[in-house]
Structure 1
Amino acid sequence: MRRLATLLLAALLPLISPAEADLAKTLRIASFSTELSRKGPGLLLRDLQRGKNPQVGAILQTLTEANADILVLQGIDWDHEGRSVIELRNLLSKRIPRYGHIYAARPNTGMQTGHDMNGDGRLGTARDAQGYGRFTGQDGMAILSRLPILRAEVRDLSELLWQDLPGATLPTYPNGTPFPSRDALAAQRLSTTGHWIVPILLPSGEQLSVMAFQATPPLFDGPEDRNGMRNQDEIRLWQVLLDGGLGPTPTEPWVIVGGANLDPDKGAGRRTAIADLLRDPRLQDPRPPDAAGRTNTVNWGTSGSMRVDYVLPSRALQVVASGLIWPAEIAAKEGGADRPASRHALVWTDLQIQ
């Protein structure tokens, strides 16, 4: 197996151009919850192809300003042929050097289970999917990279059942029986969207494991706190993985990238989950600021500003710089008011690789 991996690396190294090698001396990794998801399948692709949507333009402007080498995107609808993410990549590549490598596996969002997953007595609703979604692939994830993605070595933990996570905290009724039912809980995957370990080939021949995820909001449930418990365990999965509780542990260097939907200090949810992760001595927290020195990454209006999006490198990596980029305000379709292209800021971190 080691010899096969060596041969694979030797075959892929020539794919890294001199320009890519120069870029990768300091590697910029970004996470961005784009909020590009639409209300039906194919609508995002339509808006991307028409080239007239102001939100799409503002998102492209934000990605262009970031000029990251590796982009981990959330809130982008998945389709079977990957046409939406390819179209987004092509539009972006007209502005900055081409992203030649894409990874976008099917997310759990919109994947119907055949069970009543939230206990409302109905079947087939958006909340009865593995992850909330009106259609297959709504609010998915994607990775765009200027450096090769070793697809054959990707580990996708998205099929892991919630009850199979070591130490899982599972929802129950007051009498202790499983919520919403034993059968539903037995079918419930942990990942709302996905948990991916995606190896990127660096110019040195070393691999960087990008550990990407997007967790459920710890809201929109009942007294059983189903979403709060799930959000907690989706975040805790990374520590279980690093402890060896889910098979082989990723070798350094690695970086955890994505949306936890949880602030360590304020807001709803089991905040100790993200606080514990941020304090883990195996990683480092750059706490990237925006131009005004603020570290919150989302503005939810009346719910306030919070820090919920993260790029967390392993200790083996040297952080050179980090920051936030807020998307532009755009004209709303109704009322003439302004609204952000996304309520989230793009989070970026520069890493010294060589």
Structure 2
Amino acid sequence: MKAIFLPLVLAAGVLNTGCQSTSTTTSSDAQSANEQTQPAHTLRVATFNVSMEATNYDMAKHTAQSGNALTFALKSGEFSQINNIAQIIQRTRPDIILLNEFDYIENPDQGINLFKRDYLEVSQNGFDPIEYPYVYLAPVNTGVKTPFSGDDTRLTHYGFGKYPGQYGMVLLSRYPIKQDQVRTFQHFLWKDMPGNLMPTQPDGSSWYSAKEVSAMRLSSKSHWDIPVQICNKQVNVLASHPTPPVFDGPEDRNGKRNHDELRLWKDYISATGNEYLYDDKGQTGGFTDTSFVILGDLNASSVDGDAYPGAIDQLLKHPRVNDYPAPTSQGGQLNKPENKHGDTHTAHWGMRADYVLPSADLAVTGSGVFWPASHEAGAELVADRAASSDHRLVWVDITLPTLQCD
């Protein structure tokens, strides 16, 4: 399976990808769900764990009919959850958005193109359709079996999943993606990170067997560096979805893996200490350009949850990352009123898990979490996981310097 890059040719006048003021709809916390105009040259970047993986759509019932449960769900029109996901995106109107937990389907016409054509490009509850002419999707490690089997192995899959591609991810963009410059780190081995936190036994020996250590990939899904061209300005999207730091034992294998998945980005954007990194094409070293945005469901918080100590602070306190205040919502605060950090939560169980982290050279002029309070418009879209997802869409507005556009 290989990465797929999808430019979509549109009729003249349907979509303007030039550097113009953009009419948008803000998130619920963020003033209202009513549309308002962004300043000129403002780029809205978002991440959204959409929980669009096949087990949500009664896979046992439908796979025999469709070959893939997500494909069936998208074609059927039976699942209001998908319409609600599309409506949330139409309300917030990001220019670039990463969808986490959108199953990887190699043929885009059986997956992401169905979602775009039949949902995003169709008005949901009266909101304007939205079009993304550029798409990046690629394989992930979840559900991919290792060469090992039997009672003596702990490493049966490279990433947790019932089938290859479960909990995948896809990037949608209004602006061109430089396909030939994309870097991915799906196959980077955990052991090749100096000073890694691979779990150990009480006696200090490796928790994994020698053969497992030799094959264990660091990324539970993948790490993508995707250059996006916005007129004469390039912004690199650094996308990932590290493993949750739970569902393990005292060895804390998932917590340590989450930490090191985040460390990969920390090292990648640092001036030194990234010579060990190699991507899936064999290119070594870290990030050499100027502007980036780290985004995704990073499954870590510095104040809530079970993350390995300092995991997310590797990024939040990095000198190359913009230290703007965390996006907030009234819905998040009311969800956990006893938690003083509730307004920054992005997941219903009470944690800031989803992040959009621009580089320090980019000016952040707005941010928010789509989490309407019960009395606000759109509250029904986030009533529970069945309504849309157990995560909320997080967005950040970046004001770019004067651009030269064709």
Q: Does 1:162 align with 2:190?
A: yes
**Partner residue in 2 for 1:37:** 53
Q: How does 1:248-287 map to 2 (within 5 A)?
A: 248-286=286-324, 287=326
1:123-175 deviation line (CA, Å, top 9, x unaligned): 7x9x7211111111001000000101111100001211011123211112222
1:206 CA drift (Å): 2.0
Q: Does 1:297 align with 2:297?
A: no
Q: How does 1:145-156 map to 2 (within 5 A)?
A: 145-156=173-184
- SS, match of residue 19 in structure 2: helix
> In percent, how many aligned pairs have the same letter?
36
Contact 2:382-2:389 within 8 A present in 1 as well: no
Q: Does 1:321 align with 2:366?
A: yes
- SS, match of residue 171 in structure 2: strand
Which of these residues, 171, 177, 201, is aligned with residue 143 of structure 1? 171
**Partner residue in 2 for 1:121:** 151
Q: How does 1:175-324 map to 2 (within 5 A)?
A: 175-203=203-231, 205-243=232-270, 244=272, 245=274, 246=277, 247-286=285-324, 287-291=326-330, 294-300=343-349, 305-324=350-369
TM-score normalised per structure 2: 0.75
- Structure 1 residues 164 and 262, CA gap change in structure 2 (3 angstroms): same
1:270-294 deviation line (CA, Å, top 9, x unaligned): 1411123211121114311114561
- Structure 1 residues 97 and 56, CA gap change in structure 2 (3 angstroms): closer
- SS, match of residue 111 in structure 2: helix
**Partner residue in 1 for 2:41:** 25
Contact 2:356-2:395 within 8 A present in 1 as well: yes
Structure 2 letter corresponding to 1:295? T
1:268 CA drift (Å): 1.0
Contact 1:311-1:349 within 8 A present in 2 as well: yes
TM-score normalised per structure 1: 0.86
Partner Cα separation in structure 1 for residue 50 and residue 286 of structure 2: 32
Partner Cα separation in structure 1 for residue 15 and residue 380 of structure 2: 36
Q: After TM superposition, what 4+ stretches of structure 1 lie above 6 angstroms from structure 2?
A: none
Partner Cα separation in structure 1 for residue 90 and residue 162 of structure 2: 30
- Structure 1 residues 60 and 253, CA gap change in structure 2 (3 angstroms): same
**Partner residue in 1 for 2:98:** 72
1:329 CA drift (Å): 4.1
Structure 2 letter corresponding to 1:60? A
Partner Cα separation in structure 2 for residue 250 and residue 89 of structure 1: 33
Structure 1 letter corresponding to 2:19? A
Q: How does 1:85-124 map to 2 (within 5 A)?
A: 85-90=112-117, 91-95=119-123, 96-115=129-148, 121=151
- Structure 1 residues 133 and 242, CA gap change in structure 2 (3 angstroms): same
1:311 CA drift (Å): 0.3
1:17 CA drift (Å): 6.6
- Structure 1 residues 32 and 17, CA gap change in structure 2 (3 angstroms): closer
Partner Cα separation in structure 2 for residue 44 and residue 193 of structure 1: 18
Partner Cα separation in structure 2 for residue 260 and residue 200 of structure 1: 21
Partner Cα separation in structure 1 for residue 345 and residue 106 of structure 2: 34
Q: How does 1:52-67 map to 2 (within 5 A)?
A: 52-67=78-93
Pairwise CA RMSD: 2.5
- SS, match of residue 349 in structure 1: strand
Partner Cα separation in structure 2 for residue 269 and residue 67 of structure 1: 31
Partner Cα separation in structure 1 for residue 208 and residue 222 of structure 2: 22
1:89 CA drift (Å): 1.6
Structure 2 letter corresponding to 1:347? V
Number of aligned residue pairs? 327
Partner Cα separation in structure 2 for residue 330 and residue 280 of structure 1: 35
Contact 1:179-1:185 within 8 A present in 2 as well: no
Partner Cα separation in structure 1 for residue 86 and residue 393 of structure 2: 12
Contact 1:166-1:240 within 8 A present in 2 as well: no
Contact 1:34-1:76 within 8 A present in 2 as well: yes
Partner Cα separation in structure 1 for residue 358 and residue 330 of structure 2: 22
Contact 2:98-2:170 within 8 A present in 1 as well: yes
**Partner residue in 2 for 1:9:** none
- SS, match of residue 311 in structure 2: helix
1:217 CA drift (Å): 0.6
Contact 2:244-2:254 within 8 A present in 1 as well: yes
Bigger helix fraction: 1
Structure 2 letter corresponding to 1:69? D
